Structure 1
């Protein structure tokens, strides 16, 4: 009997220590599992959700300490009662999960050994039997060391070690990572289903009323041929199909899916903030610093969050972050990295590093051929803000006043007073303010091109000047930037054409169209029209003048190069036709 007690004592103690340590290694993960139990549709204890992390830490430390106390024989009566109370609590949870199918993974061993609820319940029943056995024969449980000071010291040191370890993994990341997103794994590969993998098998139970009697017919999917009145059907899964390690990972923005794009990209840094409202804001000093360094060294940096665009776009503006967020499911983001914000470094979908924001300085960054060492993020942020204001009301004015404009205004986060009324007057006010800021930049720093602010920010100053009467003053500066590759040359071509049209001279690239008083539309006269398509191609345009004209005025429009005299005649005719 003494031997059996020693075996049971070792099994229970070791299992409690192992289970507690696995969860202590990832207290955030265990807190997420507790939140599932606290949810309204499970135990309806939602008031405990804000304290889930604290509860998880207390539970796992107590679990480890009880296992140690049992092994060394420390205060056996108290230890056995606490073990019994804890196993009864866990047995209830696992039975509830299994019977009502509320939580599909109990989290007993974290992600190290995933157990379905019935497996967890059976495990807890075995532990309950062993603990009751120890209760019955507790006289055989003797301390390994009878010195009380030594026993107290072991328990105190164990408690201290648990606290230090728990604090470490919370301030950094789990010491051991058992998830599908661990360092070295490839997300894209983990999403694939191997050829020949078992598929899920379902049975469909069809309920009919046949001659006044209820009849159930079971099929594997096809609708049964029954002479009767259909009532309902139920689906039963009789065999579970293969589920890949990663099955819920997507990167989206609006209606577009960018998962494949980013999983094929080299040198990608992802900033994870599963919920912007709950993210640790003090971490963004480190995040901003490392993101700017990564971009300067040639890396692509994006953010992933489950928050809505209105929330994360405002957050980016408020914290002046040099990247934009994309959408990914919240549970997936919590699984990827146990930090918010967290940092994930990938190369073609393979995870190279995962870091807590406290360890942002440990991110390994190499200087790549695409490096942009002279990027000025303060200037970039200023220009990005100007670019948004430059298009603010122009975007709205392109939509007819009414429900469509209302919907667009609300999607932009504007109130009714901001998307109705005289929008052109408001845009002029913004243009005036933007122009002053851009002129100050141009006159002190030259053109803010790709080297200084990156793309597409390098077009912001061009748009503001294009919408002003300052084209003659800054056209040479724009040409210089275009020739140096700091600004897309096709934009320079558009500005030069606009300037020439304003001067009443033939344009060069055929980018400017004209309509006088809703009269006949035409492409403004072009110099040497027989070579215009060659010039357009050299400037970076991907359409001929003929195709461009159709894009501008409709498929029925046929391009014809007019002389300046013919253009002037159209202007005079439009004046004469005006009432």
Structure 2
């Protein structure tokens, strides 16, 4: 009796199914995680996209960076979820392949030409260097090629019908909805150093018992009598060479990182007044309730933003009549723009200036508000979530 049973073919089929299953799990989970982490902070991911836009001369897209970020994150989550659910296998396989090829090119370009220092693949939660990102994408490419090769074997985990349609719809709504929500209501999880509960002054100094980066300095020295030149470390130089008048240092010493130490979370915060005086500590260590209103670019406030700022300003003015508090506005715009805004809106807020980088990290909203006391961030609000006078009194000031 003849039989078509082929153990070798069956073994290969089983191996292919195992590789497909493992690849689907890895890629699906990673795409969902990566998309969600970035969708948690689309404004921050948008800032990273602006760096890429600048590299490729696409600065005209800067004003749309947050919405482009939402689309990319939502697309990642949809692809990952549909892959795990086994939905639209052909479209998902092609989408994954095209996306990973694009990401691999981007991370290689960033790493090789050193144009972007961090890819933003996992937002601020897990910073990766461009080379680490490129290696990650290469590994993902292998898994996605397996998925693409065996895509016809992918089967949905749910039968065709209403349940599958509802599941697909919910996935799409969640994937794009999470980014839209956090764009207006601030990140659900704040990974930045200015998050609620953090003591800002403490994050600006090296903690007791911690050691910073250790560097070794290399001197190039020349013997003025023999003309001999050589390079020595700072330890060798200070061990006695510096006392020898026959040797002189040529040029400036170079440095080399010997040991990576504790990284101070906040190193770039400098707040100044209109005269250029440093008032950083005065602002961040205020013992009273301190409303810090952040408008990184005051000249880019839309009509809606101006209405929100006016509401914030009015609420704080009403509170200041009854409570001992301070309110400041921090901006990276010029004094001329800030003064023009102040005159137009009759702001009760004191004007101060800081670099755009730390301001973008404080509140992912323009304008946004931080409530601080004794250097601690008590609460943060976006331009649309800032509460009323009565709510602020009940929750904070009247206690």
TM-score range, shorter chain: 0.7 to 0.9
Identify the residue that residue 293 of structure 1 maps to in structure 2. 318
Q: Return the alpha-carbon distance in structure 2 between the equivalents of residues 49 and 113 of structure 1.
A: 24
Residue 48 of structure 1 corresponds to 61
1:396-425 CA distances to partner (integer Å, 9 max, x unpaired)? xxxxxxxxxxxxxxxxxxxxxxxxxxxxxx
In 1, the alpha carbon distance for the partners of 2:227 and 2:62 equals 49
Secondary structure of 1:360's partner? coil
State which of 220, 237, 251 in structure 1 corresponds to 2:257. Answer: 237
Preserved CA contact (<8 Å) 1:294 1:300: no
Corresponding residue for residue 125 of structure 1: 138
Shift in CA distance, 205/151, structure 1 to aligned 2, threshold 3 Å: farther
CA-CA distance at 1:349 after TM superposition: 0.9
Q: Report 1:75-94 matches (<5 A).
A: 75-94=88-107
Q: Deviations over 1:23-72 (max 9, x none)?
A: 11111110001112222xx4443233233222211111111111011111
Match in the other structure for 1:247: 267
Total equivalences in the alignment: 368
Instruction: Label 1:205 to 1:133 Cα distance change in 2 as closer, same or farther (>3 A).
Output: farther
The offset of 1:307, in angstroms, is 1.3
Cα distance, 1:214 vs structure 2: 10
**1:235, distance to aligned residue in structure 2 (A):** 3.6
Whole-Å separation in 2 of the counterparts to 1:7 and 1:102:
34
* Residue 328 (structure 1) aligns with: 354
- Give the 3 Å change call, closer, same or farther, for CA 313–214 of structure 1 in structure 2: farther
Rounded to whole Å, the distance in 2 between the matches of 1:231 and 1:250 is 32
The answer (yes or no) to whether the contact 1:105–1:115 under 8 Å persists in 2 is yes
* 2:71 and 2:176 in contact (8 A); partners too: no
- CA deviation after TM superposition for structure 1 residue 147, in Å: 0.6
CA contact (8 A) 2:75 2:175 kept: no
The one of the two structures with greater contact order (alpha-carbon pairs below 8 A, sep at least 6) is: 2
Secondary structure of residue in 1 paired with 2:379: strand
Does the CA-based 8 Å contact 1:187-1:349 persist in structure 2? yes
Q: 1:59-118 CA distances to partner (integer Å, 9 max, x unpaired)?
A: 111111110111111222221121111112222222233333332222111122222323
Bigger Cα displacement from structure 2, 216-225 vs 171-180: 216-225
- 1:116: which partner in 2? 129
Equivalent of 2:40, from 16, 25, 45? 25
TM-score w.r.t. the length of structure 2 is 0.83
Q: Which residue of 2 aligns with 1:313?
A: 339
**Over residues 506-563 of structure 1, what are the superposed CA-to-partner deviations in whole Å (9 max), with x where a residue is unaligned?**
xxxxxxxxxxxxxxxxxxxxxxxxxxxxxxxxxxxxxxxxxxxxxxxxxxxxxxxxxx
CA drift at 1:190: 1.6
2:178 alignment partner in structure 1: 165
| 1:202-243 per-position Cα deviation (integer Å, ceiling 9, x unaligned) | 344556788999966242486976868946664433433322
Tell me, in whole angstroms, the C-alpha distance in 2 between the residues paired with 1:340 and 1:188.
23
Structure 2 partner of 1:189: 202
Residues 229 and 194 of structure 1: is their aligned pair in 2 closer, same or farther, counting only changes over 3 Å?
A: closer
- Structure with larger Rg: 1
Matched residue, 2:11: none
1:152-551 aligned at under 5 Å gives the runs: 152-206=165-219, 217-220=231-234, 230=250, 234-253=254-273, 254-265=275-286, 266-279=288-301, 280-298=305-323, 299-361=325-387, 364-366=391-393
Distance apart, 1:350 and its partner CA: 0.8
Partner of 2:71: 58
- Describe the shift of the 1:5–1:256 C-alpha distance in structure 2 as closer, same or farther (beyond 3 A): same
Q: 1:286 touches 1:357 (CA, 8 Å); kept in 2?
A: no
- Segments of 5+ residues of structure 1 without an aligned counterpart are 372-579
Residue number in structure 1 paired with 2:18? 3
Measure the CA separation in 2 of the matches of 1:119 and 1:293.
51
* Equivalent-residue separation in structure 1 for 2:315 and 2:294 (angstroms): 14
